[in-house]
Amino acid sequence: MNDLQINTINRTIGQLMLRVGIMKLRDAQSDFISVSSDNIKLIKAITQLGIDVVPLDDNFWFTSWDNWRKIIDVLNPIAQQFNWEAERFDCDNRANLMTALTSLIFRVNSCTGLYCDVYDAKTGAYKYRHYANLIVDIDDNVYLWDVDQGGLTQKITTKEVVMGVNKYILLNARAY
């Protein structure tokens, strides 16, 4: 009985803190300059790499790479605060969180989820299937952003990317 009561209290406090946090976020939205475009801009930037993309929104807002670096500098530490737990909160959840936070806080939604296969960059051995983020900037450049690898980012021009100790084979982007 006491455990249930403690859970109820924790849940109530958690809900209250979430409400307060969301109210604060509404006041903290950024004023980064962003440009709106239909989804064709995002689709073209990603498909030129040989990656399939499923656009779920009609319009996207793009910003400069300088602004993206600032966004990443803010969000990487947030992502590092969450405990990784396979199948409960892992790569897909964190990538989706980064996509949502860029839209919520910075009002740009040209950060998408990306499925890829990851190999050891030195040996070529397959490691795992992974979900990371793709960013498209205002100049149609595409970047890989992997919060699970300490927030590494790299501009990409093909569907095979070596970043840090990993080689990523980019498979499919889901834009929302």
- Taking the domains of the chain in order of start, what are their residue ranges? 1-30, 34-175
Task: Please give the Cα distance from 8 to 20 (Å, whole number).
Answer: 18
| H or E element in which residue 62 lies | strand 59-62
Which CATH number, 3.40.50.150, 3.90.70.10, 3.30.460.70, 3.40.50.970, labels domain 34-175?
3.30.460.70
Tens of pLDDT along the chain (176 residues) come to 444 444 555 556 555 665 666 555 555 556 777 888 888 998 999 999 998 888 778 899 999 999 999 999 888 888 887 777 777 778 888 899 999 989 988 889 999 999 999 999 999 999 999 999 999 999 999 999 999 888 999 999 999 999 999 999 999 987 54
Q: What is the three-class DSSP state of 154?
A: strand
Task: Please give the Cα distance from 146 to 89 (Å, whole number).
Answer: 15
The model carries a pTM of 0.80
